[in-house]
Structure 1
Amino acid sequence: MNVSWTTITRSLVLLVLCWNMSNASEAACTLPWPDTYRPGTSNPNVVGKVITVSNAQIDLQTRNGRQRIGLPPSGVYYTAFGGDDRIDNLKLGLIARAWYVDCKVPKDGAVPKAAYLEVYSNDPDDRPPPSYWKRY
């Protein structure tokens, strides 16, 4: 088999490019770290006011309507000011934002699952600045 160095080089470059693109798509979702700022954190998938809480899901009232979210399997949520609490203690009226698993909305219409859930404060009377609603 007689293969030129040019063909081998082109094949290797194509292989490296494909590998880098597949890794880039996997790395596109960067969840926040509790109690610290993490550069490159993805923007939340949804932000809104907690209007219902059950043992497996919450509903948020967003600017675009109501959004149901499956709760993180850890059973824990975090606050923007640091600290964590059990989902059992989540109160109505809190402003929350969620990052979905892999930061993706399910394509099949299923309820999205939160990989990370953060509330602005455990006090429903605390209101976040406008920037909290937009980006991380």
Structure 2
Amino acid sequence: MKQFFLTVLGVFAGLVLFLIVLPIVLISMAVASASGPETPSTGVLELDLREGLSDQASSNPLAAFGGSKMSVLQVVDVLHQASEDRSIKALLVRLPEGGMTPASADEVRQAIRRFRAAGKPVLAHSQGFQPSG
């Protein structure tokens, strides 16, 4: 009979830990991660185009976890926001070796021109260039 009461007490202790302590720990972890890293007052925007660009954003909700490609519209929007952001002082573009489609290249070029018109320098880098098309 004593063993039965010890077992029941152990089950209740486990339930209390699971239903009260675990949510408190999870909530405190969520609050701690919500504060985010401290961002510097100024910086350089790095735009990595080496993975290529898609014409439109993925409609798959799990695409963000799979390292999906950025869309041309996302790149244009990011460059527009960065041109107005006083903390962004310059742009570093990492270009793909194989190039990109002419339409995508033209859209990105126009967005970079608008970024430069805001008085911010642009530095482009590529490991090499291969003919495309």
Q: Same fold (TM over 0.5)?
A: no
Greater Rg over alpha carbons, structure: 2
Which structure's residues are more often helix, by fraction? 2
Greater per-residue strand proportion: 1
Q: TM-score, normalised by structure 2?
A: 0.30
